[in-house]
Amino acid sequence: MLIKLLTYVYLLRPEDGYFELLFDIFVQTLLAVQLWYNEKQHYDYETTKCAAGKVCGHYTTVVWSTSRHVGCAYRYCTPLASFGNGKNRGSVLVCNYFMYRTVYKLIDHPYKKGPACSRCGSGAGWCKDKLCNRECSGPGKDCSCAVHCHNCATVNQKTCQCSCAKGWLGAWCHLPCEDNKKYCTKWKSKSPKWCQLKQVWQNCPAWCKVCTPDPDAKAGDCPIAYGPDAYKSTASTMSVLLQQHMMMMMVTMIITQNYNRL
């Protein structure tokens, strides 16, 4: 799903060289992203809503945890004919974000609160600069293991994944190993081939032997097992998010010097 963000930045630039153009693009891009991010003050994480009469959708798009790709285009306009604000020159920045979310309806949280890289969507806790890194296949540069494993689980340091103890399942061993649909009991006399269906093995993990049940398992019986590079506090986790996002955007940026219409 593509989400488009657009902003107008009214900063005049010198016109005496390519270096100045690149410098202007960099400065104005950071300013534009900062303006989007500043909408955080209008966003209520608990209700996922903006303050009355305020805009916060740009902020949630910028920080959405499932964003995978971003492409941006920049255009310097002179004259700037569409605005009667006395500005005769300015810049337009448009960014397209590819993410998994419902467009314009903030029904989900843009991220989960907690220590950095403790619940990465890939199921492995590989981490780079306090951001989940899906490109890792093992420990190394930019691939530190920061996973958190719960309920007596152990950490597989080669894969940075959790190995669950009896009675638990899930990427972080946070879910009880039990069937949670009535039809699981009825289907136990049926062929186990039904467990090949995702809906069945997700709802009937014990019957499908996705995990090993343990009626004596209790949440919190064991301390959390941490990856060797795990962050144990949420402090400063979000403070580095904007900086890292800006760098990602500059690296992947598509700079257009097209003076025709966008």
pLDDT the model gives residue 10: 41
Bigger pLDDT: 64 or 19? 64
Residue 35 scores a pLDDT above 70: yes
Tokens 């467990």 label which residue?
A: 195
Beta strands 154-156 and 131-132, pairing class: unpaired
Instruction: Decide: 20 and 240 in contact? Cβ < 8 Å.
Output: no
Q: How far apart are CA 250 and CA 238, in angstroms?
A: 19
Instruction: Decide: 91 and 9 in contact? Cβ < 8 Å.
Output: yes
Residue 40 scores a pLDDT above 90: yes
pLDDT the model gives residue 71: 81
Residue 106 scores a pLDDT above 70: no
**pLDDT tens digits for range 52-66:** 999 888 888 888 887
pLDDT the model gives residue 7: 53
pLDDT the model gives residue 100: 57
**pLDDT tens digits for range 174-221:** 999 999 888 887 776 777 788 888 888 899 999 999 999 999 999 989
pLDDT the model gives residue 226: 96
Residue 4 scores a pLDDT above 80: no
